[in-house]
Structure 1
């Protein structure tokens, strides 16, 4: 009996070691952080991390007025703290893209929109395409989508990947960040597979979490994703970015993810074109730490 032919997705996965053991990953991450964290706990690193933030508001109670004020704060920060630079992006729901676009005065701050049935990805592909297209028309410069976790976990890689490809076609040259929702994937093996399939399907970034499900970002998930990015780069020559998001609530969290990116991916990834932090809480904490006084600006 002839061997069953691999699908193109199984063939893509076969080029990588996905048989990871969670306990081994946890041990490697713990050792890396214990060994390398301290050297990155510096003011320069904290300033860099502030410039990597996707400043995010994704609340049920968001309104045109609140998003307008949120955007104006970014403008004001640039005037009052020019020496610190600015965040990398403002991240909002797609219906607020036009407000951010018309209010934002800083040219190189991106406008990121969560799209395509965020946060569950449970809607029609046609709706996802329309929502993404409308966000881009209204001024979004980056799109954050979520994989269909149900399709992935049931082994339906084709449906999941086809959808990512279709949405990347809509985004064209605009960066598309693909959220894995690592808390739902649970194992290092699943996270590695989802990372590879997302990159294979056109992701410009892979992102840990929506922030709407616990656990959100973890150092272990970040480590596995960065390993996947590095291996994918060595295999294809294409650099994909990394974005931890969800649960980033301390300066220590930010430095921990910086340490993982630096050690696994290298200094080539230490710029806000390839490394982002999805958070709202962290901006004030980093500025306060840098300035040596409590600052609640955002």
Structure 2
């Protein structure tokens, strides 16, 4: 079987003809009926521990990333009753800075790679960048699919890239960003989710945060449904990460609710559920403490 037909055969096992209006109705009903029961301090504490604390600015430098990491070090002593964030996410050239500065256990180093955020560069460059990020200390790699290949139905090229980058990562987690705002339809998001998982993604992630719209509840629902169906067919558990535009605690509660309702409570762990954000950290801490907190 050629690679091209291999991917089409994989897609045929799934319902990929989705109705955007129906997806929106399903999301609206979930938000209306289920979010309120998750609006608790315990859920907010859990959400905090799911955060990939992220700095991806053109103004980042060694000193700013060092200070960013030192706050994560201090968190354990200043908030001893809370679990720390899941990971610190930076550009690859700062992996060594984070590694040299990070003192706390159970916080991973994540790096965006592979020509982030556009994914528009040579595969050789993507592989080299990923390998260097891991060599410098990255535990996790976040890459973006080749959206242009996907929209042109060149699934083989897109999937081969993911497979090559997963081979580069070996046992390190590979998070594959779909850039859902560029995919335009629920059916496309479902197809991109399935193809990414079949190609080696350990997580699928909504967005880079560099393109609008970024994460949406509708995209999250479709991606979680794809993860569930993939698990039912293959037995492999794939993680989910919304990122980009998560500005309020209620936004985070909506994503938590979608994961809980579609995938179940076994996905409510930072091994299978992450949230890419920085601004959310202080907002969650403020609600947990019952007073304004400006720690991060």
Query: Normalising by the residue count of structure 2, what TM-score does the alignment of the two structures yield?
Result: 0.99
Give secondary structure in 1 for the equivalent of 2:115: coil
Tell me how large the CA RMSD over aligned residues is: 1.1
Q: How does 1:75-114 map to 2 (within 5 A)?
A: 75-114=73-112
The answer (yes or no) to whether the contact 2:110–2:140 under 8 Å persists in 1 is yes
Deviation string for 1:124-177 (max 9, x for gaps)?
000000000000000000000000000000000000000000000000111000
The 1-side partners of 2:52 and 2:62 are apart by 19
Match of 1:143 in 2: 141
Q: Decide which of 60, 63, 66 is 2:64's aligned counterpart.
A: 66
Give secondary structure in 1 for the equivalent of 2:174: strand
Match of 1:253 in 2: 251
Name stretches of at least 5 consecutive residues in structure 2 with no aligned partner: none
Q: How does 1:157-196 map to 2 (within 5 A)?
A: 157-196=155-194
Aligned-pair distance for 1:5?
Answer: 11
The 1-side partners of 2:112 and 2:150 are apart by 20
Match of 2:281 in 1: 283
The 2-side partners of 1:107 and 1:168 are apart by 25
Aligned-pair distance for 1:6?
Answer: 6.9
Q: Report how many residues are paired.
A: 295
Name stretches of at least 5 consecutive residues in structure 1 with no aligned partner: none
Deviation string for 1:247-294 (max 9, x for gaps)?
001000000000000000001101000000000100000000100111
Match of 1:53 in 2: 51
Give secondary structure in 2 for the equivalent of 1:209: coil
Match of 1:236 in 2: 234
